Amino acid sequence: MTLDQSTIRQLAEHLENAELNRQPVTKITDDHPEMDWEDAYAIQYEIRRRKEERGGRTAGLKMGLTSQAKMRQMGVSEPVYGFLTDAGSYGDGAEIDTAAFIHPRIEAEVAVMTKSELAGPGCNIGQVLQAVDFVTGAVEIIDSRYENFRFDLKSVIADNTSAAGFVGGSVMRGVDAVDLPTLGVVMEKNGEVVETGAGAAVLGHPATSVAMLANMLAARSEVIPAGTFIMTGGITAAVAVDKGDTINVRFQDLGKVSFRMV
């Protein structure tokens, strides 16, 4: 680590204020070019601690930058992870207040709920498939706290990987009932198809993403506890949404997830 505790706390407050006030800021590495990966995650964990201290609940975990295209774009070879909050949790059919965000974008994802603990290092796809209670379709809302989504990898990790919310689906199925890599997704905005994709866009198999999460957490001596909801990463590119937009995402074998930005 290169940053001291007081700088970690100050940067966490700075980024959380940007989120709470909907006031975008410049990427934090501009002022702290020396910060490293550990610093970046320490800032993210401090934001999580601040929210929990105020009574906010962590609703699950997320993986980001899980497609080869997005990793290439960022010049990285490993995805990133962040946390989901109860405050940003929406159900199928929700009306979502656009004013709660700066410049929201949405990604279609497969989410899983675990029924037993997963621990790295060495966690593999087979262990993940055994540990998954159910899979469901979900839509992540990302909303970078940085102006125009302009950031580098350390800045975006500190900013909780742009996590801002998620809309969970209402169809849950066992992992044996769906073929995750070939699971097709169609995203419609205002009745027009804007994105299509298949589960394989997520590291070849969404369960690989969960294994990678367990292995990344092991570096901090953490595990994925039983009963964890995990967004596995974007199947589609992120699509900008605005007030008045109606979104309908159809997942093969997992029903649809619909919501309206109001």
Strands 184-189 and 192-198, by their bridges, are: antiparallel
Residue 246's DSSP bridge partners are 260
Residue 94's DSSP bridge partners are 259
The one segment of 16-24, 131-139, 179-187, 233-241 that binds ligand 0L1 by CB under 6 A: 233-241
Name the residue nearer to ligand 0L1 (CB basis): 197 or 234. 234
CA dihedral 53, 153, 122, 138 (to 10 degrees): 70
| Options 112, 132, 238, 254; binder of ligand 0L1; rule CB under 6 A | 238
Q: Give me the phi and psi of 237, to 5 degrees please.
A: -65, 160
Residue 144 contact partner, candidates ligand 0L1, Mg ion, none, CB within 5 to 8 A by sort of partner: ligand 0L1
Residue 85 contact partner, candidates Mg ion, ligand 0L1, none, CB within 5 to 8 A by sort of partner: none
The one segment of 22-30, 37-45, 183-191, 230-238 that binds ligand 0L1 by CB under 6 A: 230-238
Query: Which of the residues 89 through 128 are near Mg ion (CB under 5 A)?
Result: 107
User: Interface with ligand 0L1 includes 127 (CB under 6 A)?
Assistant: no
User: Cβ 209 to ligand 0L1, closest distance in Å?
Assistant: 10
Residue 155 near residue 146 (C-beta atoms within 8 A) = yes
Distances (CA, A) of 164 to 83, 124, 137, 161, 199: 9, 29, 17, 9, 22
Residue nearest to Mg ion (CB): 140
Q: Give me the phi and psi of 260, to 5 degrees please.
A: -130, 140
User: Cβ 26 to Mg ion, closest distance in Å?
Assistant: 23
Interacting residues with ligand 0L1 (CB under 6 A): 64-65, 107, 140, 142, 144, 149, 156, 161-162, 233-234, 238
